[in-house]
Amino acid sequence: MNYAARSLRLRIPRICVAITGTDAAELLDKAEAVLRENSLIELRLDSLKNPVLALPRLRRLIELRPDGVVIATCRRKAAGGNFAGSVEAELEILRKAAEAGCHALDVEIETASTMTAAAWEELRARAAIVLSSHDFKTTAKLEETFARMRIYPADFYKVAGTANSLHDNVAMIRFLEEHGSEYPMVGMCMGEQGMLSRVLSIRAGAAFTFGSAGQGKETAPGQPTYRELRDFYRVEQIEPVTKVYGVAGDPIAHSMSPWVMNSAFRRENVNAVYLPLHAKTLEDLLSTITDLPLNGASITIPYKEAVVEHLDNSDVLTQKTGACNTIVRGKDGGLFGFNTDVYGIIAALESRVTLQGARVLVLGAGGAARAAVFSLRDKGADVSILNRTPARAQTLAKQSGAKIVKRSELPKLSFDVIFNATPVGLSPDKNTPLEENEINTVWVFDSVYNPIETRLIKLAQAKGCGTISGAEMFVHQAARQFEIWTNKPAPLDGIRQVLLRQLGAVGVEGMAPIPTVVNPKGKAVAANSASAVASESDAAKPAEAKPEARVAEKPGKAPAKAPLETAVKVTAKAIPVKVVSAKAAPVKAVAAKTAPVVAKNAPGKAAPARVAAKPVGKPVKAVAKVTGKSAAKPAPKKAAAKPAAKKKAGKKK
């Protein structure tokens, strides 16, 4: 008996890197490079035309790296590999690989079933055996397959299926939990929907999981790289108490949420992992959340509205908008819904645009659009809706008090903000929801964040409009989700840095970073735009005093109060989850003497007004400082009378 091989399970790491090559030199060069970072590798000898030629150098590699653990595989085409030889030829290569020093041999159940008991024991005496079964179509009949495999004594039993739904991962994980304590198991689902089991199989009791040597070097469908498993999903730290979250939608491959959330968990030392959940049906998603179970999920297209009726409770914003993008699973199994899209939209807009009275066009009528329409209406904005399905737009307009417009009317209309709440422009789609002649606005806000510069954003910038990338909305809503799930303040700057790095927007050597916010060009800024007051170009020029240009306020009436909070407070009294509210940023007062005053003009022809030489009506006492804690109070009548008295005295002199 090979006692050294029997001790393998005591010293192997949790990630096995599968390596292929076009020739022996390439295969072993890759192996040597990977062994510097990960001590467990699988050499796919069946990827070589003549596997025997690699064995002499393989022996030298193993002698130089005694800390490494090498599994040799020579899988025949009938079992899903590339080796075109017979069963006996396969076994002969595996025997020679063991003689070269390989610590373990991967043998398919189809090959094992052709061997006699004596031949099987003779092979086991040479090296440890990983007895494997691969189903490239389904994840069915797991128990039946394992019953066939148990006949053959092995050091590891590897069962791989193919996920055709998210819930197939649940079946695999339950299978591992059932047998992992009695047998040394390795199990996973292949395919894009199989990521759950590839990462969580460790938590279910699997000895290790598989990763590729790099992007484009996968040996099975849906296989992540070993660095992603190690650094990104942190599988080496996963344990039974590790919490599991994910982003669910269809499609989901474009999402940056796993990168952002896993980085935030690691940064804040949260024992949790965040996974992509490609759910092709809502029923599949809900059953996976309940049966796995998941601790929470981010909900994206197309389930934000449909999931609401399946929630046990929700916050006020979810109830009002009829859309949910954040789920928390309670200890009793109940599902609680939140809407953090509202927070993301308002936080990105309010610091740049005075929303009270702003004319806003919302494109779309889905979950993100509903969040935008209701939150903007609450802020006093005049909202119009454009959707390719008029019936949905009419329903939303009626519920929110907004208006609907036809696309044919857009060239004649102008707005302060156009907000794209549709997925048009999402990578790899290069289309735009509006053409150049339809973009008559001060600001364009695109909810799409991948890429940073969508075609809509580029068209708007070419016309001199200010632009806000969906990255701004994404960062703020993701931070809110993190706080809801962890009861910790979100690392906002860290979230932003990770997102921009993954999108390639931070800039590389010789290239400038891609901005997520670009201010409007020139002076074509609407009266209610905050950028009109804070514009550097306008502030640099002193205002001309002309009697014919008057301040756009009625005589004796104090100017409207500016919004004091830049964050949306999410109330969730009925939900047993502590929500950390973001503190409102203080709003700096603008000096009345130096800031240019902007008057409203006709739609699409906004231009800065000039300050009158003499004040019109009774002077109003300026508020010196505004804080985010309380609204500015009007001056008492007695205090207001003093400057008036001084004015009369001045006239007499």
Supply the residues annotated as catalytic. Answer: 134, 158, 304, 341
Indicate the SS3 state at residue 23: coil
CA torsion 574-576-582-584 (nearest 10°) is 30
Please give the backbone phi and psi of residue 110, each rounded to the nearest 5 degrees, phi first.
-65, -35
Cα separation of 51 and 94, whole Å?
Answer: 10
Query: CB under 8 Å to 354, separation ≥6 — which residues?
Result: 528, 529, 530, 562, 563
Beta-bridge partners for 385: 362, 404
Nearest to 611 by CA among 553, 543, 556: 543
Cα separation of 206 and 188, whole Å?
Answer: 9
N-to-C CA span, the chain: 116
Cβ atoms of 321 and 371 closer than 8 Å: yes
Burial-class residue 48 by CB neighbours within 10 Å (0-12, 13-18, 19+). Answer: buried
Query: CB under 8 Å to 375, separation ≥6 — which residues?
Result: 317, 321, 342, 345, 346, 568
Alpha carbon separation from 266 to 125, 191, 203, 432 (Å, rounded): 43, 27, 18, 37
- Residue 604 CA to chain centroid, in angstroms? 36
- Structure-block tokens of residue 579: 């929500």
Cβ atoms of 262 and 243 closer than 8 Å: no
- Structure-block tokens of residue 541: 């020029």
For 497-520, the DSSP string reads HHHHHHTT-S--TTSPPPPSEEPP
Q: What is the length of the chain?
A: 653
Helix (H) or strand (E) holding 443: strand 441-446
Cα separation of 258 and 247, whole Å?
Answer: 7
Helix (H) or strand (E) holding 393: helix 390-400
Alpha carbon separation from 120 to 107, 126, 153, 381 (Å, rounded): 10, 10, 9, 76
Side-chain-side CA neighbours of residue 72 (13 Å): 31
- Structure-block tokens of residue 319: 């109830």
Nearest to 307 by CA among 485, 321, 570, 276: 321
Residue 445: what residue type? Answer: F
Nearest to 617 by CA among 560, 542, 559, 546: 559
- Structure-block tokens of residue 558: 């104090």
